[in-house]
Structure 1
Amino acid sequence: MLGFDVGTARKVWTALLIALLFFCIYMASSTVLVVVFAVFFSYLVYPLVDLVERIRPRRVPRVASIALVFVVVVAVIAVVGSLFGVQLQDQATHLFAQLPALMKSDVPNRFPLPHFLEPLRERIVDFVRSQIETGSDKAVPMARSVGLGVMHAASNLIYLVLIPILSFLLINEGPQMRDAFLNLLTDRHRVLWAQIVTDLNLLLSKYVRALLFLSLATLICYGVAFSLLGVPYAFLLAVSAGLLEFVPFAGPLGAIAITLVVAVFSGYAHLLWLVIFIALYRLFQDYVLNPYLMSEGVEVSPFLVIVGLLAGDQLGGVAGIFLAVPVIAMLKIVIGRARVFYSASRDEGQAARRALTGKAD
């Protein structure tokens, strides 16, 4: 009546609700980001919780075993940070102090380049030096503002405390939250979303743990190789590469660029061996280790990865880049499951109508 279609109205209403949900998520991005990091931390800790659960006596409550795991994990993180944090800070401070002298050195002019790039040597060296000078100019006022930044960070320190607390609650109450969500749905949609939740759980668990293993592998391999090869600031470069491994695609490239720039301007004599090692390690990680650790559900086309990284950078900076690939993979699972589910429902409906038509005949 009057051109009003109920089905269209429902679709428009659903689209508006989804748009409103995304708007609320964007407005509460800081809170959502804390929850996301808590979810990731939960997936990192859960294997230990599951191991303790297997050997836990029945009279000991489950919450006690989860609390024990979190106390041990937080203590280990604190001990590792106290042991290696000083060395990392010393190397970073020394590198920033040496930047002016490194930029004035003549080492880059003696660095071998391919024959076709020799006419551009001066421009390349000037460009690299200008980039480093820009970074060093920003680093000095940044270092001076650390004292004031500590007071500002103290107000956000609650987030660092909330992440393990939220992770603890997620692990403890996760099954009840899942059941409560599914009970809100109809019987027909409960089957669909039970499959989606199961797939998302498997996806995130494999993705987060794979990132952790890749980061640790990069940290250990780079640290050992850089130390054996005598690379300047070996520990600092290895830690930087390990942390950047959490940023898909752009992180490893940034780590390689930082390592080569520091090695070149420090006058490192065995640059060829360093390049060979990095190339061999990236081949091993990208074509052997990464496919072994990542599940098929995490595989995303390079085009979508690059678009997602650019969009993530615009929406959330480094956090958006970090979350781009898992969000795309999650959408891929939801859309794929929904397509299969509704296709099967449509086929069943057509078969039922054909059966009824046959009986009527």
Structure 2
Amino acid sequence: MNQMPLTVRRAIEVTGLFFLGWIIVLGRDLLAPLLVAFFISIMLLPIYRFFHKRKFPDAVAIGISLLVLIVILAGIVWFFTSQMRILIEDFPTIQKNVMKHLTTLSEWIGSKTPFSTEEQTSFVKEQSNNLFTYAGNLLGGVAGGVTGTLVFLGLLPIYIFLLLFYKNLLLRFIFLWFPRDQHEKVEETLSEMQVIIKSYLFGLLIQITYMTILLGGLLMLIGIKHALLIGIIFAFLNLIPYVGALLGNIIGVLLTLSSSEELWPVVAVLGTIAAVQFLDNNILMPRIVGSKVKINALATIVGVIVGGEIAGITGMFLSLPVIAMLKVVFDRTEQFKQWGVLFGDERPGLSPMAIPVLRWDTKAVRRQLERENDIEPTDASDNPEDKKKE
């Protein structure tokens, strides 16, 4: 049988990716909670296995694991709502400070531009009316969004329970897709995906905790109001690569401006966030996560945008672990290795146009690029084709 031409194979791959994306968009309301449940169930596996080894029935071990999850989530929700209650109690002061800042800004604009205070007031009123109209229309959509959120939260524990209960059946289903001679590679891929997801998600939990304590504690020492609220909001938004940190800075500045009559706290907040983020990105997070997979910035940003378009905030949070999972699969599949290279951070220092060896898919080249980019080597087994090329 003649082998399929390479151009035809690539065209089929791109077409398949298009239809896969189309299916994901159409089924996002089903897939988003299922994917979240899948990641959470992997995090709960150590708890489940602890009780399962002690001869607890499967249903009981899973129920205890879900109870631990509910307690943790309830603690986070209680902490966040308590901080929001403090913010609401300070609303009269916030309103007063906002008016003072707006007056100062109006006077500065009047001194620098030909617009009078009356013209500025008229403009603000006009925009306020437009804003209220927009907010009214938005509230109609929020009602439907609340219903969707309640359905999402209702399905989540059911999905988690069923994924843990039927995990062996699902694993058997996966293995039956592949011939026997590939089962060892499939087992290796599944194990590595589990390690990567667990290290990433547990790392995020640790990151949320120390970012809230570190950032909130430092801002409290400086004397910033609502320091813990700023800390927890920034810690959660920081989970969204690149975009989240920018939103966290904006919200931190707005909360500080509305709670203070002076401008120096804004500079203090921005400086503290920058210092904590530098410490997180360069020292703490790399040591905590310790993943063997590094995703390049281009793939991360595109993944966050695509995830946001498909499933909103949930998709933005899930984008990075999904890309990491896909990279593990692509790296171990001969047909899709080029996509693994596209997602990865194994950046050659020299151009493949000038150095032909960089065009080859060999184990030696991959190891060299991993060393140059300070990436832990994968555990992929040697391929016969690699050995021939080397």
Same fold? TM cut 0.5: yes
1:70 aligns with 2:66: yes
Contact 1:214–1:245 (CA under 8 A) maintained in structure 2? no
Paired residue secondary structure (1:191): helix
- 1:262-305, Cα deviation, whole Å (9 max, x unpaired): 32452355555444432321121111111012233342122322
1:296 aligns with 2:335: no
* Pairing 1:207-246 to 2, within 5 Å after superposition: 207-246=200-239
* Pairing 1:228-307 to 2, within 5 Å after superposition: 228-265=221-258, 266-268=260-262, 269-307=264-302
Query: Between the two proteins, what is the percent identity of the paired residues?
Result: 19
Letter in 2 for 1:173: Y
Paired residue secondary structure (2:276): helix
Q: TM-score, normalising length from structure 2?
A: 0.69
Change (3 A) 1:328 1:135: farther
Change (3 A) 1:336 1:165: same
Let me know the Cα RMSD of the aligned residues: 4.0
Contact 1:219–1:239 (CA under 8 A) maintained in structure 2? yes
Change (3 A) 1:214 1:258: same
Paired with 1:274 and 1:74, the residues of 2 have a C-alpha distance of 33
1:43 alignment counterpart: 42
Contact 1:48–1:69 (CA under 8 A) maintained in structure 2? yes
1:88 alignment counterpart: 83
Q: Which is richer in helix?
A: 1
Shift of 1:178: 1.3
Change (3 A) 1:240 1:175: same
Shift of 1:252: 2.1
Letter in 2 for 1:186: P
2:185 alignment counterpart: 192
Change (3 A) 1:225 1:160: same
1:326 aligns with 2:326: no
User: Gaps (5+ residues) in structure 1?
Assistant: 111-117, 124-129, 352-361
Shift of 1:318: 2.5
Change (3 A) 1:199 1:86: closer
Paired with 2:134 and 2:311, the residues of 1 have a C-alpha distance of 24
Letter in 2 for 1:257: I
2:367 alignment counterpart: none
Paired residue secondary structure (2:332): helix
Letter in 1 for 2:28: S
Shift of 1:346: 3.2
Shift of 1:18: 5.0
Change (3 A) 1:85 1:290: closer
2:51 alignment counterpart: 52
Contact 2:42–2:194 (CA under 8 A) maintained in structure 1? no
1:126 alignment counterpart: none
Number of residue pairs the alignment of both structures matches: 329
Letter in 2 for 1:306: I
Moved more, 318-327 or 91-100: 91-100
Paired with 1:167 and 1:122, the residues of 2 have a C-alpha distance of 59
Change (3 A) 1:38 1:98: farther
Letter in 1 for 2:325: M
Paired with 2:381 and 2:159, the residues of 1 have a C-alpha distance of 35
Paired with 1:155 and 1:350, the residues of 2 have a C-alpha distance of 53
2:172 alignment counterpart: 179
Shift of 1:150: 5.3
Contact 2:33–2:156 (CA under 8 A) maintained in structure 1? yes
Moved more, 281-290 or 186-195: 186-195
Paired with 2:76 and 2:389, the residues of 1 have a C-alpha distance of 62
Change (3 A) 1:140 1:100: farther
- 1:69-114, Cα deviation, whole Å (9 max, x unpaired): 2124324533553x4354233245457766654343249969xxxx
Letter in 2 for 1:191: E
1:32 alignment counterpart: 31
User: Gaps (5+ residues) in structure 2?
Assistant: 114-122, 338-362, 364-379
Paired with 1:238 and 1:74, the residues of 2 have a C-alpha distance of 22
Paired with 2:89 and 2:386, the residues of 1 have a C-alpha distance of 68
Paired with 2:158 and 2:270, the residues of 1 have a C-alpha distance of 43
Change (3 A) 1:270 1:99: closer
Letter in 2 for 1:225: L
